[in-house]
Amino acid sequence: MPCLNEAETVETCVRKTIGFFKDSGIDGEVVIADNGSTDGSQQLARDAGARVVPVVDKGYGNALMGGIRAARGRYVAMGDADDSYDFTTLGPFLDELRDGADLVMGNRFKGGIAPGAMPPLHRYLGNPVLSFVGRLFFGSKIGDFHCGLRAFDRDAILRLGLQTGGMEFASEMVVKATLQKYDIREVPTTLSPDGRTRAPHLNTWRDGWRHLRFLMLYSPRWLFLIPGLVFMTLGLLAGVAISAGPVRIGAIAFDVDTLVGASAALVIGFQAVLFALLTKVYAMQEGFLPHDRRVQRLIDWWSLERGLLTGGLLAIAGLAGLVASLLHWRGHSFGELDPRDSLRIVVPAATALVMSFQVIFASLFVSILGIRRRQHPPLTDAAEEAAGVVDAAAHKVAGERQAVPAAAEAAAADAKDDAAKDDASGPADEH
């Protein structure tokens, strides 16, 4: 249980959980991940039977990760220490884990939300929308992305390498588990009004934005690729149509001003598509996102040489367009031109030049990302190392052989000296 000044409720939560352990015959512990409480929550939790683990780094996610790492059990259940979740109902969670699940999520919308337990903005807009976005972006089947009561296999969750420190930690766990093809299940759970008199730590707009931002950043397809393809398609279709002449739809005429806008849309869309590719490659290299075979095949095929060749061809087309515009200007004795004619040559040429450099720079950057970091082993010759071991063994054996005769000679000399002493002392004794 993450804890930050929960003196009003932490003792109740701990006692309920320990009671559940005893009644169910479970060998368990309650870990309070304290995030710097100043109201005596720590001692209250200890008195109730919990183990308190201090977590220095502030934030919901940091506190939970500190507690998860400190936990000693195979399975871990997490829940808020504000008495809004009923820890005596963890039985179904444990049953699913024992049945092979990696992560078991509670679903408050299926289990029941008591009056006053969740603000209407969260209940009817925030949670449903963010959960829908998560299902859309990542193909998850979870209906309540942000339920604070969940249980999981400790080792499986630690393998995910969770990194966020704030409230978006709840989304990160579900997203990464989904991407790693974990067995994720849901059980209905209830939500009651918390037992605190102070305001909750959750900030509606700030934390809602952090959840949405995380979902977008972890899905380059929806953040860059799809919008980029839409922009590219619209810009290309409009640009090709208007380059041949004005396009009229009823009383509205689309001319060179629209051509400039179409060119901008094409460039922006193309840049977004390239950025989606670069983001995906980087995330795969650093382990933020799982390996994607389709992207890998594309990268393997799109070599630096192909990128330079494609960029060079676009640059040649752009330069040819600029030459054509100069010839057009020369045909008018380098005088004033009609923009409706000249822009139909200049704008496509400039667009081709801009895209040529985008292709070249992106190809160079992908090649840089493909240079893997390595730690080279020390420069040693295996043959020399083996020869050194053999020589050392030989020297040891030779030393042992030399030591044996020397020891024998020393023993013989000692025996001879003892015998001489005995002979010298014999007559004296008789006298």
> Is the residue at 412 inside a domain?
no
Give the pLDDT band (50/70/90) at residue 302.
confident
Mean of pLDDT values over 396-407: 60
Both tokens assigned to 95: 């049953």
The pLDDT value recorded for residue 296 is 82
Q: State whether 71 and 109 are in the same domain.
A: yes
Mean of pLDDT values over 108-131: 92
> Is the residue at 203 inside a domain?
yes
Q: State whether 135 and 198 are in the same domain.
A: yes
Within 10 angstroms of residue 86's Cβ, the number of other Cβ atoms is 18
The pLDDT value recorded for residue 293 is 84
Instruction: Report the range of poorest mean pLDDT among 153-157, 342-346, 375-379.
Output: 375-379
> Is the residue at 376 inside a domain?
no
The pLDDT value recorded for residue 324 is 93
The pLDDT value recorded for residue 73 is 94
Q: State whether 136 and 208 are in the same domain.
A: yes
Give the pLDDT band (50/70/90) at residue 11.
very high
Q: State whether 173 and 275 are in the same domain.
A: no
Dihedrals φ, ψ of 190, to 5°? -105, 155
In whole angstroms, what is the distance from residue 329 CA to residue 319 CA?
15
> Is the residue at 423 inside a domain?
no
Q: State whether 35 and 169 are in the same domain.
A: yes
If one compares 288 and 51, the residue with the highest pLDDT of the two is 51
Q: State whether 8 and 139 are in the same domain.
A: yes
> Is the residue at 230 inside a domain?
yes
Burial of 145 (C-beta count, 10 Å sphere; 0-12/13-18/19+): buried
The pLDDT value recorded for residue 429 is 45
Q: State whether 260 and 181 are in the same domain.
A: no
Nearest to 64 by CA among 120, 187, 121, 148: 148
Nearest to 290 by CA among 373, 181, 374: 181
Q: State whether 247 and 184 are in the same domain.
A: no
403 has a pLDDT exceeding 80: no
Helical segments of 180-303, H only: 204-217, 220, 226-243, 256-286, 293-301
CATH code for position 96? 3.90.550.10
> Is the residue at 50 inside a domain?
yes
Both tokens assigned to 328: 């057009």
The pLDDT value recorded for residue 284 is 78
Amino acid 74 reads R
The pLDDT value recorded for residue 405 is 60
If one compares 197 and 87, the residue with the highest pLDDT of the two is 87
Q: State whether 230 and 362 are in the same domain.
A: yes
Amino acid 324 reads A
Boundary of a domain, candidates 217, 235, 269: 217
Mean of pLDDT values over 366-387: 59
40 has a pLDDT exceeding 70: yes
Please give the residue range of the domain that contains residue 346.
220-369
Q: State whether 148 and 242 are in the same domain.
A: no
> How is residue 191 annotated by DSSP?
B
Give the pLDDT band (50/70/90) at residue 407.
low
> Is the residue at 100 inside a domain?
yes
Q: State whether 209 and 252 are in the same domain.
A: no
Q: How many CA within 13 A on the CB side of residue 335?
A: 3
Mean of pLDDT values over 236-262: 90
Q: State whether 192 and 241 are in the same domain.
A: no
Q: How does pLDDT run across 163-221, given as a tens digit for each residue?
A: 889 989 999 999 999 999 999 999 999 999 998 888 787 788 888 888 888 888 788 88
User: Percent of the chain, pLDDT > 70?
Assistant: 85
Q: Structurally, how many domains does the chain consist of?
A: 2
> Is the residue at 86 inside a domain?
yes
Give the pLDDT band (50/70/90) at residue 309.
very high
Q: How does pLDDT run across 341-353, given as a tens digit for each residue?
A: 889 999 999 999 9
> 185: helix, coil or strand?
strand
Boundary of a domain, candidates 217, 233, 249: 217
In whole angstroms, what is the distance from residue 342 CA to residue 325 CA?
7
Boundary of a domain, candidates 217, 246, 269: 217
